[in-house]
Amino acid sequence: MDADENLRVSREVVDALSEGRVVALESSIICQGMPWPQNLETALAAEEAIRSEGAVPATIAVVDGEVRVGLSPSELEQLAKRKDAVKAGIRDLPWAELKGLTAGTTVSATMAIADAAGIRVFATGGIGGVHPGEAMDISTDLVALSRLNVIVVCSGAKSFLDIENTLEVLETLGVPVIGYQTDDFPGFFVRSTGFKVPYRLNSVDEIVRFAQIKWSRGLTGGILVTNPVPPHAAADDKVISQAIEYAQRTADEQGIKGKAVTPFILEQIRRFTDGQSLSANVALAVNNARLAGQIASQAGQLVSILRR
């Protein structure tokens, strides 16, 4: 990793990077994705799940214009309580740094920072995708996945997106989509969207080997590993469908646009389901962190491949 005076990497993360035992975590889930105190509780639980698998968590955020890779528990708490944090995708990072902002990083921004820091495994809840409707609204998460050498562990795409077109764009961009012990593409709160994944792998060893083959062949870009929400925490399909319909209608009526759409819809779904969706979100975030920790603990060879 090249020296960057505005990139602060914790000592614990630096020490673990040479062995590849690091898992990046986004911070938009803390700043925009969940209310207090569930945001902090989930962040701490995700980090603990990674540690339990022998890896080191690296929550990524911009704090007062400084990009930080690896936050202490007290820093996580401060971030979770801040009301002025903006949402930063990959294109917003220079602006956040220039203006000294505090920002929760989305999937695309977190991937960019992780890749720059040499972190090859990243756990998140769900990726962005293609929004329904006639206007072209495609998340930069998909573009980042096509360019950055990071394994992204998630519970699919958020189920209020256009899943069919999201998968089509991922195929067009050459992003491998793997189902971990599943043939179905999950939909965040629910275990299946009704669409199939191109590839199914049943072990962590296979996932690591897949990445080794891809990157050693010079095939750059990310790998999407989809890990369904645990069965006990999955939301009811019918209730979620009703909640999504309500949330999307409300967003249209209120003229919610751009990067405000996803957090708005998530909040409306949480209210409609009396918190069932939030419980699913917490469970899948921690479950994904645990799987990512397992992958990172075996991913040491990926570091040397990408340094060639």
Tokens of 91: 């294109």
Give the helix ranges, DSSP H, for 99-203: 107-117, 140-147, 163-172
Of 26, 47, 53, 77, the catalytic one is 26
Of 87, 158, 214, 259, the catalytic one is 158
C-alpha to C-alpha distance for 234 and 161, rounded to whole angstroms:
18
Cα-Cα-Cα-Cα dihedral sign, residues 17, 42, 157, 83: negative
Please count the other Cβ atoms lying within 10 Å of the Cβ belonging to residue 168.
Answer: 12
Asked if residue 297 lies in contact with residue 53, where contact means CB atoms within 8 angstroms, the answer is: yes
User: Is there a catalytic annotation at residue 267?
Assistant: no
C-alpha to C-alpha distance for 228 and 69, rounded to whole angstroms:
27
Buried b (16+ CB within 10 A) or exposed e, 254-286: eebeebebbbbbbbbbbebbeebbbbbbbbbbb
Q: In the chain, count of helices (H) and strands (E)?
A: 13, 11
Asked if residue 206 lies in contact with residue 199, where contact means CB atoms within 8 angstroms, the answer is: no
Tokens of 97: 């740094």
User: Is there a catalytic annotation at residue 26?
Assistant: yes
Closest by CA to 107, choosing from 166, 173, 60, is: 60
Burial label for 120, CB within 10 Å (0-12, 13-18, 19+), is buried
Q: Which residues are catalytic?
A: 26, 158
